[in-house]
Structure 1
Amino acid sequence: MWFVPFLFGILVATILIWTLRLFGHKEIVHNFMTSIQKCNQFGFQQNSVMLNRTSTFRRMILGQGLRQNSGSIISTLIGMVSSACDQFSTPNVAFYENKIPAKPNEEYIEEILIKWPGNYTKLQNIATYIQWLFPNRMPGTNKDAHVLTDKEVTIFQQSPELRNRVKRSFEMMLDFYGLKLTEENQIQVKKGSNKRLKVLNKMNNHNFLCITRILLALKELGHCKLMRPWMKCLADLIYNKNQLHHAKFSFESFWIDTLDAEDQLYIISLIKNYSV
């Protein structure tokens, strides 16, 4: 009964595909089916699931090719199913790997990082993207986004590629707020950014909530060292230059709590010096 594992693999793959479709994960199904369509041999020597119409197909009809290659067929099917399951179980990773788009906008991370920087109107008016760019443990208003899991945190922290994309997302948001990241990983106010700071310095500004989310995400996604210089810059704008005075409540009630104890003491000491 050598063909039983093969049939079982087909059944599992079919159930998985329909389950993903049922729960609205069409992009994962698309990626799964695309990987199948790219195959070029039934023997799976190149990660394949397509029938070879020549001698391999004839041997298969005789019950030889399928028997000989059933082991590799099952292994490849399992690999494909596993890949699809990974996208299902780690959607934040899949998004940052450019495998699935953010919902409901249906844009991939590379599209966002290339097209959105400098588009302040889009960044201001579309609120659904922020949970995809900066996932953390807290659910948000976008029901299509996903909270961050321990497994995803580990993957992000171990992947230079993913951390680099997170950093690019952060730089895009800094620019939106009128700030910039220097080569020394310090954060400064951009020249000619008074207009951007005025937009940010409004009461009950939803961007203050976004900053809380970004800080929490930086902490989890391998960029905790960027939190202290950002908070230092924000403290200077709030308590020293008085350009972000409407952000004072968020700073004291939420932002400062995202830091570890040592960084909190450092920022508090800066604020005390400003008041002297």
Structure 2
Amino acid sequence: MNYQAKEITKKEIEAFLEDETAKKRLVKSYQLMLDFYGIQLSNDSTGEVRRANNWRYRFYNMDRHTHNNLRITRILKCLGILGFPNYQAPLVRFFLEETIVKGNLYNVKESVLNYFISAVIVQQQRKELVEYAYKLYEVKHQFVVP
């Protein structure tokens, strides 16, 4: 964590949202981070993601180094603030499927449920993700809505 980092201002957000080059660079940076985690952006418009070819090793690394969970939360928040809220829900849904359905990323599951879902800024999408997670969750009485 960088304690000297300053929060982005409304003025900076507005300038970013008007700069097409900056937005393209953000998407490219997002794709690089996804690759680092073993994920690939499969649809630029919808934000849909899928496993990348390198997913096994990257998932192993992500599951062992849980500091990445905080980074993913920040990525999700950044996407929402800087004009790509449509990218948030597909990434969270991907993590829900990988953690709850496929049983991968055991050490990421708690962050998905407690932080990733909450980072989604579109309320309807957030609600749908909570409902989806509840539907998938096997021990219903242990499920706590964020």
CA positional deviation for 1:142: 5.0
**CA separation in 2, counterparts of 1:267 and 1:183?**
19
Name the aligned partner's letter for residue 39 of structure 2.
Answer: L
Match of 2:29 in 1: 169
Question: Which residue of structure 1 aligns with residue 129 of structure 2?
Answer: 267
Which amino acid letter does the alignment assign opposite residue 107 of structure 2?
H
Structure 2 partner of 1:216: 77
1:226 aligns with 2:87: yes
Provide the rounded CA distance (Å) in 2 between the counterparts of 1:142 and 1:167. 26
Contact 2:73 2:116 in 1 (8 A): yes
Q: Provide the rounded CA distance (Å) in 1 between the counterparts of 2:17 and 2:99.
A: 31
Partner Cα separation in structure 2 for residue 192 and residue 214 of structure 1: 20
CA distance in 2 between counterparts of 1:237 and 1:189 reads 10
Instruction: State the 1:234 CA deviation.
Output: 0.7
User: Which residue, 129, 149, 157 being the options, matches 2:9?
Assistant: 149
TM-score (structure 1 length as normaliser): 0.46
- Return the alpha-carbon distance in structure 1 between the equivalents of residues 59 and 106 of structure 2: 11
What is the CA-CA distance between 1:272 and the residue it aligns to?
2.8
Structure 2's unaligned 5+ residue stretches are 139-146
- Work out whether 1:160 is the aligned partner of 2:28: no
SS of aligned partner of 1:245: coil
Q: Do structure 1's residue 191 and structure 2's residue 53 form an aligned pair?
A: yes
- State the Cα deviation string for residues 14-69 of structure 1 (Å, max 9, x = none): xxxxxxxxxxxxxxxxxxxxxxxxxxxxxxxxxxxxxxxxxxxxxxxxxxxxxxxx
Q: Is 2:116 the counterpart of 1:255?
A: yes
Indicate which of 178, 188, 194 corresponds to 2:38: 178
Is 1:235 the equivalent of 2:96? Answer: yes
Tell which has more relative contact order, 1 or 2 (C-alpha 8 A, sep 6+).
2
Runs (4+) off by over 4 Å:
none
C-alpha displacement at 1:191, in angstroms? 2.5
